[in-house]
Amino acid sequence: MVKVTETSHSNLGKIEIAPEVLTVIASIATSEIKGIQGHFKELRNVSIEHISKKQLTRGVKVDTKDDGIYIDVFCSLAYGVNISETAKKVQQAIFNSLTTMTTIEPTQINIHITHIEPTK
């Protein structure tokens, strides 16, 4: 479990978030970036109620270590997009989503481009 940073209401108890929750947040954030292909693009086009847990955790790996949280995203891009720019957008989207929803700042967000899909 990942511990959320302490808040002013610490006398209410502790908050822990399962790594799977961070994986889902990262998947949804990635699916919202233009130029992302493959199953992340499929997530964007389907209602969230119809998406399985397996689909949401595919392509994202979250490691929780003593020195922080490491996220690896394995994705494919559309042919013709700026790879560096798109990868930075994915990193920023994940960072923004995690910090907004959980107040957790990941140590690293690594983007692995596994495939370039040709245009149809």
pLDDT (0 to 100) of residue 11: 72
- pLDDT over 80 at 78, yes or no: yes
- Does residue 23 contact residue 56 with C-beta atoms inside 8 Å? yes
CB 35 within 8 A of CB 86: yes
Determine the 3-state secondary structure of 37 from DSSP: strand
CATH of domain 8-117: 3.30.70.1350
pTM: 0.81
Q: Which range has the worst mean pLDDT, 36-50, 68-82, 86-100?
A: 36-50
What's the pLDDT at 52? 59
* pLDDT at site 65: 87
* Cβ-contact 22, 57 below 8 angstroms: no
The domain limits of the chain are 8-117
- Report pLDDT for 8: 43
Asked if residue 61 has pLDDT above 50, the reply is: yes
DSSP SS3 for 66: coil
